């Protein structure tokens, strides 16, 4: 079946409006999908019927940095009006603003002349949760780098002039937040972990799933994450992590065997 449980709109750091992303999902024949904007749920209610007959599962992505790794937690299946989730979103967005301010200040100190206003302009909406992709686009527009990959590789990654870790939420906090809201917590893109022993801690905290099917995962990695899922009793999910057609060549949707994701579907549908 064709599904996508990891995608982004302009409500966070994607470049499509919610209805445009939903229309793309429909065009591609995606049967079930989630919009997992960073620290945002505002895409929900803005599809304007563009999703057609596709089933939509409420989702969100919560970014954390832990033990030197980007540890992102995807949350699914909770009420879109959850007060606890919205309170956490508000606090996280405040920290995102401060983080973006620190990043631009560090970049200016290193000789890259961009401002927080330039970053906000790339976000498009005043309410959009700021993130590194917005800083990257501001750097591109200013002529400092050629593309998103170069911005992250040379300026925004760990050890680079514009890097600021996300320390305002721990991954265990994110998992607990999703669980208390009645949702299912899933580890996003596990290939980004520098130390997979982190997964043990996450499982102890209530992690329920792992994003085994992801564009950057080679077949041997998919097999590896299948093994991890079996070992810990985790459900498996699939996602494109779509942000922008220019940088997501595979577009939206992942083809998977229904049996592989049925345990996840049983939890959220």
CA 159, CA 260: separation in Å to the nearest integer?
Answer: 38
Tokens coding 244: 């922008």
pLDDT at 246: 75
For 6-18, the pLDDT digits (tens) are 999 999 999 999 9
Write down the pTM of the prediction. 0.91
Question: Strand, helix or coil at 235?
Answer: strand
Spell out the domains of the chain, with CATH numbers in brackets: 2-87+167-268 (3.20.20.140), 98-156 (1.10.150.650)
pLDDT digits (tens, 9 = 90+) for 218-229: 999 999 999 999
Residue 174 phi/psi, 5-degree rounding, is -65, -40
* Average pLDDT score, the chain: 95
The structure tokens listed for 70 are: 């980007």
Residue in 54, 17, 66, 42 with CA at minimum distance from that of residue 187 = 66
Model confidence pLDDT, tens digit, residues 41-96: 999 999 989 999 999 999 999 999 899 898 999 999 999 999 999 999 999 989 99
Task: Check whether 248 has a pLDDT greater than 90.
Answer: no
pLDDT digits (tens, 9 = 90+) for 81-121: 999 999 999 999 899 999 999 999 999 999 999 999 999 99
What does the DSSP 8-state code read for residue 255? E
């Amino acid at each position: 079946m064709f599904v996508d449980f990891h995608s982004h709109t302009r409500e966070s750091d994607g470049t499509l409006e919610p209805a445009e992303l939903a229309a793309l999902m429909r065009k591609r024949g995606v049967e079930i999908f989630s919009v997992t904007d960073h620290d945002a749920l505002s895409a929900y209610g803005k599809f304007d019927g563009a999703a057609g007959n596709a089933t939509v599962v409420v989702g969100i992505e919560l970014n954390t940095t832990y033990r030197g790794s980007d540890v992102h937690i995807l949350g699914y299946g909770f009420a879109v009006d959850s007060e606890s989730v919205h309170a956490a979103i508000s606090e996280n967005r405040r920290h995102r603003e401060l983080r973006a301010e620190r990043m631009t200040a560090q970049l200016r100190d290193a000789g890259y002349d961009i401002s927080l206003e330039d970053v906000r302009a790339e976000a498009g909406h005043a309410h959009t949760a700021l993130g590194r992709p917005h800083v990257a686009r501001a750097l591109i527009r200013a002529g400092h780098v050629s593309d998103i990959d170069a911005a992250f590789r040379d300026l925004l990654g760990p050890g680079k002039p514009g890097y600021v870790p996300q320390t305002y939420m721990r991954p265990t906090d994110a998992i607990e937040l999703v669980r208390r809201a009645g949702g299912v917590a899933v580890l996003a893109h596990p290939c980004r972990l520098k130390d997979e022993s982190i997964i043990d801690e996450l499982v102890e905290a209530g992690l329920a799933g792992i994003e085994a099917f992801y564009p950057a995962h080679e077949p041997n990695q998919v097999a590896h994450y299948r093994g991890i899922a079996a070992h810990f009793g985790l459900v498996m999910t699939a996602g494109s992590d779509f942000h922008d057609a220019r940088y997501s060549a595979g577009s939206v949707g992942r083809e998977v065997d229904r049996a592989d994701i049925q345990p996840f579907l049983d939890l959220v549908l």
